[in-house]
Amino acid sequence: MTEALVRKKPGMASVKDMPILQDGPPPGGFAPVRYARRIPTKGPSAVAIFLAAFGTFAWGMYQVGKGNKIRRELKEEKYAARRAILPMLQAEEDERFVGEWKKYLEEEARIMKDVPGWKVGENVYNSGKWMPPATGELRPEVWRDLGFLLTFASLVEIQSRYASVRDAEPPGFSYWHLVDVALIPLIVLVLKSYWEVQLVEAY
């Protein structure tokens, strides 16, 4: 029955007598099959990116060049101002050096007054070459500052040693603790006040 419905013929039929029925493409053929990856193009192309980057770099280098030119002009202006006031600064330094040199010779004469044959202001070197005077060594306030710093550093070191000894002892009252808390800060305060007075008098 089924055979008759499919073949539209009554009864059974031989296979050889059956018409050939084979699946094939529709009229016009099948649509093309996409087998490759389809990546949509988004954004600018590589050439556009390269041109944009090159333009940005060129503009940045142009700005750097302009900035360098401005900085060179400012630096030259600063150096010109320094060259303009250099004679006045040198005159002030010469005036200060003459006064300090006079004090230096007076102090040398006072210290070496008991040394026979000592000539005040004579060069102690035998090189025979003239050397510019070390003007920084003729400022007593510099040595006062240095003395205060050295004294303060020594006291800090002593305090740290006392603190290490104190920490090594068992808990409880200790004379090291009394020295650390009361005596050392008092000495530092007294010396600091003394050096401040000396600096005020020096300046």
Assess if residue 172 is contained within a domain. Answer: yes
90 is a domain residue: yes
Pair 154, 199 in one domain? yes
Token readout for 9 is 């013929």
Q: What confidence score (pLDDT) does residue 54 get?
A: 96
108/122 Cα distance (integer angstroms): 11
Same domain, 107 and 144: no
More confident residue, 75 or 192: 75
Does residue 175 lie within any of the structural domains?
yes
Residues 107 and 147 in one domain: no
- Give the Cα separation of 138 and 118 in Å (integer): 20
Q: Tell me, yes or no, whether 31 lies in a domain.
A: no
Query: What's the rounded mean pLDDT across residues 136-153?
Result: 53
Number of domains in the chain: 2
162 with 180: CB under 8 angstroms? Answer: yes
Q: Per-residue pLDDT averaged across 97-122, rounded?
A: 86
pLDDT per residue as tens digits for the range 36-74 = 887 777 778 889 999 999 999 999 999 999 999 999 999
Tell me, yes or no, whether 7 lies in a domain.
no
* Mean pLDDT (whole number) for 157-184: 52
Considering the chain, what is the average pLDDT of its residues?
A: 73
Phi, psi of 187 (to 5 degrees): -65, -45
Containing structural domain, residue 197: 139-203
Average pLDDT over residues 141-152: 53
pLDDT at site 52: 95
Which one-letter DSSP state was computed for residue 135?
Answer: G
Q: Would you say residue 190 lies in a domain? A: yes
Over range 66-95, report the average pLDDT: 91
Same domain? 106 vs 150? no
Q: Which residue has the higher pLDDT, 170 or 186?
A: 186
Cα gap 95→93, rounded to integer Å: 5
Question: Is 61 in the same domain as 102?
Answer: yes
Q: Percent of the chain beyond pLDDT 90?
A: 19
Sign (positive or negative) of CA dihedral 78, 80, 84, 89:
positive
Question: Quick check: is 119 in a domain?
Answer: no
Same domain, residue pair 95 and 145: no
Q: Considering the domain boundaries, does residue 169 fall inside one? A: yes
Q: Is 143 in the same domain as 203?
A: yes
pLDDT confidence of 173, banded at 50, 70, 90?
A: very low
